[in-house]
Structure 1
Amino acid sequence: MALALAVAVLLLGLTSPLPVLAAATGGFDNPQTGQLSAEPGHLYSVWGFSPSDVFAVGASGIVLRYDGSSWNEMSSGVSVRLWGVWGSSPSDVFAVGASGTIVHYDGSSWNAVSSGTTDDFLGVWGNSASDVFAVGTSGTVLHFDGESWSTMDSGTAKSLCGIWGTSPSNVIATGDDGVIIRYDGESWHPEASGTTAYLHGAWGTSPSDIFVVGESGTILHYDGSSWTAMDSATSDWYWLYSVWGSSSSDVFVVGQSSTLRHFDGTNWTPMDSGTTPGIWDVWGSSSSDVFAVGNLGTIIHYDGTSWSVLSGAAVGVVVNSITPFRAIQGETLDVTIIGHNLTGATEVYLGEDITVNSYAVESAKRITANITIDADASAGPRDVSVTTAEGTGTLTDGFTIQARPEEGGGLFDCSCGEEETSVPPAGLAIGMTLSGLCWGAGYYLARRARPPTRR
Structure 2
Amino acid sequence: MMPPIRPNAPPAPWLAIVAMGATIPTALLLACATDGASAPNEAPPESETVQVADSGVEGGDGDASLGPCDDCEYFPERCEPDTLCPNGPFDPATAGGAIDPRTRVNVIRGRSANDVWVAGGVGSITHFDGTSWARSDSGTQESIHALWLLGSEEVAFGRLDFLHTRGIDVPDAGVSTGGWTLQNPTTIPTDYKRTATSLEAAWGAPGAEWLWAAVRPLGLWRLRRSPSDGFKIAVAIDPSAFTYPMTDIHGSSADVLWAVGDNGRAVRITGAQGDKPAYEMFNTQTSNGLRGVWTASESEAWAVGGSGTIRHYTGDSVFWDVVADVPTTRHLNAVWGTSPSDVWAVGDDAVVLHYDGTQWSRVKIAGLGPLRPDLYAVWTGAAGHVWIGGHGVLLSLGGKP
Select the residue among 171, 179, 193 that pairs with 1:148. 179
2:227 equivalent to 1:188? no
Larger radius of gyration: 1
Q: Which residue of 2 aligns with 1:453?
A: none
In the TM superposition, what is the alpha-carbon distance from 1:134 to its structure 2 partner?
Answer: 2.5
What is the distance in 1 between the residues matched to 2:46 and 2:256? 35
2:199 equivalent to 1:160? yes
In the TM superposition, what is the alpha-carbon distance from 1:126 to its structure 2 partner?
Answer: 2.2
Q: Indicate conservation of the 8 Å contact 2:84/2:363, yes or no.
A: no
More helix by share: 2
Where 1:206 maps in the other structure, the secondary structure is: coil
Q: Indicate conservation of the 8 Å contact 1:243/1:254, yes or no.
A: yes
Q: Which residue of 1 aligns with 2:40?
A: none
1:182-221 map, 5 Å: 182-186=222-226, 187-191=232-236, 192-193=238-239, 194-221=241-268
Q: Indicate conservation of the 8 Å contact 1:288/1:305, yes or no.
A: yes
Q: Which residue of 2 aligns with 1:99?
A: 122
Select the residue among 263, 269, 272 that pairs with 2:321. 269
In the TM superposition, what is the alpha-carbon distance from 1:112 to its structure 2 partner?
Answer: 2.2
What is the distance in 2 between the residues matched to 1:283 and 1:23? 26
1:41-190 map, 5 Å: 69-76=82-89, 77-78=98-99, 79=101, 80-128=103-151, 130-137=152-159, 139-145=161-167, 148-153=179-184, 155=188, 156=192, 158-166=197-205, 167-186=207-226, 187-190=232-235
In the TM superposition, what is the alpha-carbon distance from 1:199 to its structure 2 partner?
Answer: 1.9
Where 2:263 maps in the other structure, the secondary structure is: helix
Q: Which residue of 2 aligns with 1:417?
A: none
Select the residue among 280, 298, 313 that pairs with 1:228. 280
What is the distance in 2 between the residues matched to 1:162 and 1:67? 33
Where 1:318 maps in the other structure, the secondary structure is: coil
In the TM superposition, what is the alpha-carbon distance from 1:22 to its structure 2 partner?
Answer: 5.0
Deviations 1:76-98 (A, max 9, x none): 11121111111122332111111
- Compute the TM-score of the two structures, normalised by the length of structure 1: 0.54
**Higher RCO structure, 1 or 2 (CA under 8 Å, sep 6+):** 2
1:414-453 map, 5 Å: none
Where 1:107 maps in the other structure, the secondary structure is: coil
Q: Indicate conservation of the 8 Å contact 1:197/1:218, yes or no.
A: yes
What is the distance in 1 between the residues matched to 2:321 and 2:313? 7
What is the distance in 2 between the residues matched to 1:182 and 1:278? 28
Q: Indicate conservation of the 8 Å contact 2:330/2:347, yes or no.
A: yes
Counterparts in 2 of 1:252 and 1:84: CA distance versus 1, 3 Å: same
CA RMSD of aligned residues (A): 3.1
What is the distance in 2 between the residues matched to 1:182 and 1:215? 20
Q: Indicate conservation of the 8 Å contact 2:33/2:307, yes or no.
A: no
In the TM superposition, what is the alpha-carbon distance from 1:249 to its structure 2 partner?
Answer: 1.5
What is the distance in 2 between the residues matched to 1:138 and 1:28? 33
1:288-303 map, 5 Å: 288-303=341-356
What is the distance in 2 between the residues matched to 1:243 and 1:19? 25
* Aligned residue type for 1:294: G
Q: Indicate conservation of the 8 Å contact 1:39/1:318, yes or no.
A: no
Where 2:204 maps in the other structure, the secondary structure is: strand
Select the residue among 240, 245, 259 that pairs with 2:309. 259
1:287-436 map, 5 Å: 287-318=340-371
What is the distance in 2 between the residues matched to 1:117 and 1:228? 38
Counterparts in 2 of 1:287 and 1:26: CA distance versus 1, 3 Å: farther
What is the distance in 2 between the residues matched to 1:175 and 1:126? 20
* Aligned residue type for 1:38: V
Structure 1: runs of 5 or more not aligned: 1-16, 41-65, 322-455
What is the distance in 2 between the residues matched to 1:122 and 1:176? 13
Q: Which residue of 2 aligns with 1:452?
A: none
Aligned pairs, number? 273
Counterparts in 2 of 1:138 and 1:285: CA distance versus 1, 3 Å: closer
Counterparts in 2 of 1:20 and 1:26: CA distance versus 1, 3 Å: closer
Deviations 1:192-249 (A, max 9, x none): 24115332211112343111111222212212122332222111xx221111021122
Counterparts in 2 of 1:171 and 1:262: CA distance versus 1, 3 Å: same
